Structure 1
Amino acid sequence: MKVLSLFDGMSCGQIALKRLGIRTETYYASEIDRHAIRQTQLNFPDTIQLGDVTQVDVRQLEPIDLLIGGSPCQSFSFAGKRAGMSTIDKEEIYTLKRYLELKREGFLFEGESYLFWEYMRILTDIRMYNPDVLFLLENVEMGKKWERVLSEAIGIFGVHINSALVSAQNRARIYWTNIRTKKVGLFGELHADIPQPQDRKIFLRHIVEEEADKKYYLSEKMMGWLKRHGEKRNTDMNVLGDNDKSHCLTATAQAKGNLTTNYVCMAMRGRETCLTSRRTEYGKRIRKAYEAGSIAELRKNIQQLEPRTDGKTNCLTSVQKDNLIWAGLAGCRPDRKGKTGTCSQNPLPFGEICMSCGRIRRLTPTECARLQTIPEWYQWKCSDTQQYRMLGNGWTVEVIVHIFSFLKDNIHINIAWQQA
């Protein structure tokens, strides 16, 4: 089987294939991040790197059997600007034909989510010689408008899967694939027919390390910054309970002064508590006014951090300071059933974390890798910062394993079951 992986990153697709024991004849990867490329070549030295996705010409490659990729999602994400795919002049792009016209005319595009059309360009070119090529496209959950645009372009409606079913992370994503399909409704719309994975009931307590290096703990200076930032940005912070899931890992660039929405806390003795954010009612009114055009500037950081009740932590980010764990002291542990901890007599202004009750640390790279279900055999040879970023950009491997497990029903492939 010959595979072309676009936006390959640290090659989570290749990890998933190996987990299933599926051998590929050729694995092409399109990636521009040099750190991610080094990681891929360290673990999969036979990978053929192609570079920039906009320069990929499938006519110069061997015939492709499987096309995979997760195009950039920032402009689709509910956590982002939700600008969708557009030029910097705000022309929204709804078809591949229009995108190619704008590209030829030298127009500049907003953000990176427009690169979905590069995925479609390449898929269209492959379909010219292989109409039955198998494909997988992953992207973030988005508004109905853009989900339909992507679905109609690719010719299939995707399946929504939350990584929380197979990991300790809340990571809701859409997967468009023809590996297994079904027709739905009066007009026979084609839908991805991938069943939901079985809930493995994996929680944060299952992936945290018993001992973490002191470098992952927040300094008193950083604790003071969080306190001041919370007061300045009208931000509240509360402790989540036991059996929680993490924030979705993202790869937002670290920017000093930005308080993002991803906090994870751990109490002692393996009982985890987490911090998550929710926009305050005032913040919601600000957003509505912004979207209605009655104010010019969006104050998107007006949020509060609240407990989750679903037993999962929120989605982690690749920003080191965003993935925090509360290492509580004796007497400050949360209730086993996920209730908020009892140390609320002297709360900080940003919620129910008492600085005297323990220390806060960020998740370690190993813990983040476990949240993305990266196997232990995967080797790392990069900085913590780059590892956080790659994991945030990557896929939850066990979700991809689940989807790829249906490959054997659709294509004759060389399968050698191995212990990964």
Structure 2
Amino acid sequence: MGRFNCRWSRWKCCRSRREIAQIALYTTMDSNGLTVLSLFDGMSCGAIALREAGIKVKQYFASEIDKAAIIQATHNFPDTIQLGSVVNLSAANLPKIDLLIGGSPCQGFSFAGKQMNFKDPRSVLFFEYVRILNEIRAYNPDVKFLLENVRMRAEYENVISSHLGLQPVAINSSLVSAQNRLRLYWTNILTAATPHLFGETVFTAIPQPKDKGIYLRDVLDDVADTRYFLSRKDIEKLEKQIAYESENQKSLSEEQFMELFRDIDFCETYALAPVSCFCPENWISNHIIRPSPEIERFPVSAIQNGRAIRDCSSKTDSTVIISGAIVSPQFGGGFRPILSGKAPCLLATSSNSAACLIINGDDMVLRRLTPKECCRLQTIPDWYEWVCSEPQIYKMLGNGWTVDVISHILQFL
């Protein structure tokens, strides 16, 4: 452990060309491989994807400021050269970079967030990505790049596309995993162009990955520790939050509505009890998508740990697993089932972002997904080891990439 701490202390201050060159001498992995620079590296999903895709790497440089993420990544990839903050990084101090990857912080762009967009200090880090890409292009115009971000308003997507010189491809992680996670990917690894009156439009031509047909039931453990089940105390706490929020209910914009409910098939859920609809009527009236009248949503107050839903009239002879999420009180609270059988998008802000309702006869329990199950949603391989706390695991997975999507893209190198 002492040697590891020494390595962290040495790498975190690595700035000059000479310092980087000295360390690089001892971290060459494959002399015939790529030299990779990963910005906003996090838990190093990029390095995982490269390994899973069978792509040889000569050197892997990472820019990250979250110490827990750095320790986590370095534990699994000890040869990674950590460079610290992207703001202080100069590509001129690095050897020739063959591949630049990164997912700039997306909280400012998300429809579900405050939508500060480029005014959000986290989202403006995108321009640091552009700066470094241009610095690399100055000495290697053939550098390949990959940028990932959330779905956003067209005007902001166009700003990113204009700086990168091409349009993105949208890929939903549900094709390769049990998670609904729609993301935009800008890359010049494989491109095509469409001519028009004023020239041509270049776009990312990565094809969609093949649908593996994976559902939540395929990634759940047969047995989960009791600490992952919603306790009565947790339910009572949520009930109080819901009661408070109901007096100060906020309306949703069209963009927020589509972001929140994008993974529901026509807003349908599972009808088990005659309870209230999942949204106040005024949230629905001005939108085309409407809930099926006979299909309703469970309020959290109707679900008890180890007990049946109150007044439930449905019976089943076998175990039924319903995927869904424990919804934020800001959006009405409750458990939102998803009929598609896919888990909702993992979030960095809450370990309850993905949950499941397990029904066995009259017994019904609601629990959040375990870290191991969330790893499977992000297609993190079993060989990846965790050395941080559970809250950090949930956070890193929520901030991370779906590895199999990235591997799919990198296979076209």
1:374 aligns with 2:380: yes
Provide closer, same or farther for how the CA distance between residues 326 and 118 of structure 1 changes in structure 2, counting only shifts above 3 A.
Answer: same
Instruction: Give the TM-score of the pair, scaled to structure 2.
Output: 0.72
Is 2:106 aligned against 1:76?
Answer: no
Amino acid at match of 1:314: P
Which residue of structure 1 lines up, in the alignment, with residue 237 of structure 2?
A: 225
Change (3 A) 1:149 1:239: closer
Partner of 1:395: 401
Which of 181, 193, 210 is the aligned partner of 1:183? 193
The answer on whether the counterparts of 1:239 and 1:306 sit within 8 Å (CA) in structure 2 is no
Structure 2 CA distance for partners of 1:153 and 1:304, relative to 1, 3 Å: farther
Counterpart for residue 197 of structure 1: 209
SS of the residue corresponding to residue 147 of structure 1 reads: helix
Residue equivalent to 2:50: 17
Is the 8 Å Cα contact of residues 30 and 52 (structure 1) preserved in structure 2?
A: yes
Q: 1:114 to 1:6 in 2, by over 3 A?
A: same
Among 135, 139, 142, the residue aligned to 1:132: 142
Three-state SS of the structure 2 residue aligned to 1:77 is coil
Give the alignment of 1:251-400 within 5 angstroms: 271-276=320-325, 301-302=331-332, 306-318=336-348, 319-331=350-362, 357-400=363-406
**Which amino acid is 1:323 matched to?**
A
Paired AA for residue 317 in structure 1: L
How many residue pairs get matched?
318
Alignment deviations for residues 289-316 of structure 1 (CA, whole Å, 9 cap, x no partner): xxxxxxxxxx954567544343322112
Counterpart secondary structure, 1:37: helix
Query: Higher relative contact order by CA 8 Å / sep ≥ 6: 1 or 2?
Result: 1
Partner of residue 54 from structure 1, selected from 82, 87, 95 = 87
Find the counterpart in structure 2 of residue 141 from structure 1.
151
Q: Deviations over 1:34-72 (max 9, x none)?
A: 111111111111000001010111111101000000000
1:114 CA drift (Å): 0.5
Tell me the residue number matched to 1:65: 98
CA distance in 1, matches of 2:232, 2:148: 40
- Shift in Å at residue 223 of structure 1? 1.3
Q: Matched residue of 1:120: which SS?
A: helix
Change in 2 beyond 3 A, CA 1:183/1:361: same
The offset of 1:325, in angstroms, is 2.6
Q: Residue 289 of structure 1 corresponds to which residue in structure 2?
A: none
Structure number having the greater helix percentage: 2
Partners of 1:223 and 1:306 lie apart in 2 by 15
In the TM superposition, what is the alpha-carbon distance from 1:216 to its structure 2 partner?
1.2
Measure the CA separation in 2 of the matches of 1:140 and 1:314: 14
Query: Displacement of 1:6 after TM fit?
Result: 0.1
Q: Deviations over 1:354-390 (max 9, x none)?
A: xxx4332211000000000000111111111110011
Q: 1:66 to 1:403 in 2, by over 3 A?
A: same
Structure 1 residues 306 and 214, CA, compared in 2 at 3 Å: closer, same or farther? Answer: closer
2:223 to 179, 201, 211: 211
RMSD of aligned Cα (Å): 2.8
5+ long unaligned stretches in structure 1: 87-109, 243-258, 260-264, 280-298, 332-356, 408-420
Shift of 1:239: 9.7
